[in-house]
Amino acid sequence: MAMLHNGRAARRQTMRAIRPQRSGALPLLILGWAGAAAVMALWWQNTPLVRMALAEWLTGAGRLTGLLGGYMIAIVVLLMARVPALERRVGSDRVARWHAMSGRYAICLVIAHVPLTIAGYAAQAQVDFVRQTVDMVTTFPRMIEATAGTVLFLIIGFVSVGMVRRRVAYETWYYLHLLTYVAVYLTFWHQLATGAEFVGDATARTAWYVLYGAAGALLVWYRVLTPIRLNQRHRMQVHSTVYEAPGVVSVLISGRRLHRLGAEPGQFFRWRFRTSGLRWSSNPYSLSAPPRPDLLRITVRANGEHSEALSRLEPGTRVWAEGPYGAMTAARRSKEKVLMIAGGAGITPMRALFETLPGGPGDLTLLYRASKTEDLALWAELREIASARGARLLYAVNGPDGVRPEITTDRLRELLPDIEDHDVYVCGPTGLARQTYDALRAAGVPTRRIHHESFEM
């Protein structure tokens, strides 16, 4: 058993990190929509007269969808940058969903832009669609690059569709997804070279350069330079692996000055283990104990080839980490009492929070959901923490007949009559999280005090 305790020191560090804050989602959404409105205003400014001619309607619609598509592509790049302030304020899972949604919007706008523009020019020249397509690709400036970039966007969009992505290996999807950067580069110059809004307007061109330049700079800084600096500074490697429960293993990771990583209990890193079969895979795993100056720990349940291979890691294997990420930390807490609900592998961030969240006797309650008692990973540690802190530790497992105990509003009220006065942290499978959320809302817990984060997009 890999017992890691930081005790009072960890709780003091967590207390310093507590800055109750509201989610930054709404201001960012308003800012995003304001940017889209500005793009539409730019189009309107360069559309002085809208006549009823079909060619002008098609061309105008093509220009508008192209501008909005270009704007959404910049947003997609920005959301790929994993800016810490954004992820902490909004949450990694929500940023990931925004990224996926923005990508779908961008693809749809690009798909609309291409035929609308070609059809508009074909109507003006009174030629057929195919002839106009060939003429535009071969004679318009930067159109060869734009065509290649558009094809790449369509490929990326296709492999990102849920039905297709589930059939594609994660590594294949991940590296195909990197082609987004190539597609952005190819299409960016086409926008400036042929867009009516940019050809004669230096201010519009400057704004477009600033938009894409800022998104690109953030991407390079946080996805390339920051991880290089982190890993050069801390020199992480596998210290040992420890069996915790059936199919569950802890990986202890040593390094230099690891407490200066800035990681908080409840957060996760994306880990890459530099050994055969794992070198090209980057997967998110939460810290299952507070960081120590010389040691970190993740606890992983076997749920695929990558997680199963972690049990075979050799001591000394070099580790590449990116992070920390995640907003399910003490900073979200606003009430004195806290309920934590964990299911399956979701116990890992809860274990770290259970040890470090400040609170007196009776303030903290942890409910651990598993299929059977043998699956209660880290149980001995949790019992020791509960005993030392005067916290409540409960578990719910399937009955002898395999029936799952449901988390209902009545059961929550029976467990905690003042449930509406708690902050609640939830981490587990999607079904458990959805059921728990509904039960908590029915019990009177406000949405702002239900804290959940998922690695699933």
Listed residue (444, 439, 440) closest to 424, CA to CA: 440
Residue 261: domain span? 236-325
The verdict on 270 and 300 lying in the same domain is yes
Q: Are 404 and 398 in contact (CB under 8 A)?
A: yes
- Round to whole Å and give the CA distance between 185 and 167: 29
Which pLDDT score, from 0 to 100, does residue 6 have?
A: 53
Q: Are 82 and 99 in contact (CB under 8 A)?
A: no
Number of domains observed in the structure of the chain: 3
- Round to whole Å and give the CA distance between 113 and 104: 14
Bridge partners (DSSP) of residue 250 are 242, 299
The verdict on 278 and 392 lying in the same domain is no
Burial class (CB in 10 A: 0-12, 13-18, 19+), 41: exposed
> DSSP characters for 358-415?
---TTSEEEEEEESSGGG-TTHHHHHHHHHHHT-EEEEEE--TT-PPPP--HHHHHHH
The two most distant CA atoms of the chain are separated, in Å, by: 82
Which pLDDT score, from 0 to 100, does residue 418 have?
A: 94
- Round to whole Å and give the CA distance between 377 and 3: 12
The verdict on 222 and 246 lying in the same domain is no
Structural domain contains residue 20: no
Structural domain contains residue 198: yes
Q: What is the DSSP letter of 268?
A: E
- pTM above 0.85? no
Domain stop point among 273, 294, 325: 325
The two structure tokens encoding residue 316: 């000394």
Q: What is the DSSP letter of 225?
A: I
Q: Are 363 and 338 in contact (CB under 8 A)?
A: yes
The verdict on 30 and 172 lying in the same domain is yes
H-type alpha helices, 295-340? 305-309
The arrangement of strands across the sheet holding 248-254 comes to: 237-245, 248-254, 295-301
- Round to whole Å and give the CA distance between 357 and 114: 54
Structural domain contains residue 17: no
CATH number at residue 445: 3.40.50.80
The verdict on 206 and 63 lying in the same domain is yes
- Round to whole Å and give the CA distance between 124 and 62: 14
Residue owning tokens 């590449």? 320
The verdict on 124 and 168 lying in the same domain is yes
Bridge partners (DSSP) of residue 321 are 271
Which pLDDT score, from 0 to 100, does residue 190 have?
A: 87
The arrangement of strands across the sheet holding 319-325 comes to: 283-286, 268-273, 319-325
Which pLDDT score, from 0 to 100, does residue 391 have?
A: 95
Structural domain contains residue 35: yes
The answer to whether the Cα torsion of 426, 429, 432, 438 is positive or negative is: positive
The verdict on 110 and 218 lying in the same domain is yes
The verdict on 76 and 105 lying in the same domain is yes
Which pLDDT score, from 0 to 100, does residue 157 have?
A: 86
The verdict on 311 and 344 lying in the same domain is no
Residues sharing a CB contact under 8 Å with residue 414, sequence separation 6 or more, in sequence order: none
Which pLDDT score, from 0 to 100, does residue 11 have?
A: 44
Structural domain contains residue 56: yes
Which pLDDT score, from 0 to 100, does residue 165 have?
A: 79
Q: β-pairing, 450-452 with 422-427? A: parallel
pLDDT < 70 regions, the chain:
1-24, 48-52, 304-306, 402, 455-457
Q: At 343, which helix (H) or strand (E)?
A: strand 337-343
Give me the phi and psi of 451, to 5 degrees please: -110, 115
| Displacement of CA 219 from its chain's centroid (Å) | 15
The verdict on 404 and 382 lying in the same domain is yes
Give me the phi and psi of 246, to 5 degrees please: -55, 120
Domain stop point among 282, 300, 325: 325
Structural domain contains residue 14: no
The verdict on 256 and 387 lying in the same domain is no
Structural domain contains residue 225: yes
The verdict on 263 and 392 lying in the same domain is no
Bridge partners (DSSP) of residue 340 are 366, 425
Q: Are 433 and 408 in contact (CB under 8 A)?
A: no
Domain stop point among 325, 341, 368: 325
Q: At 450, which helix (H) or strand (E)?
A: strand 450-452
Which pLDDT score, from 0 to 100, does residue 23 have?
A: 55
Burial class (CB in 10 A: 0-12, 13-18, 19+), 361: exposed
CATH number at residue 316: 2.40.30.10
Structural domain contains residue 444: yes
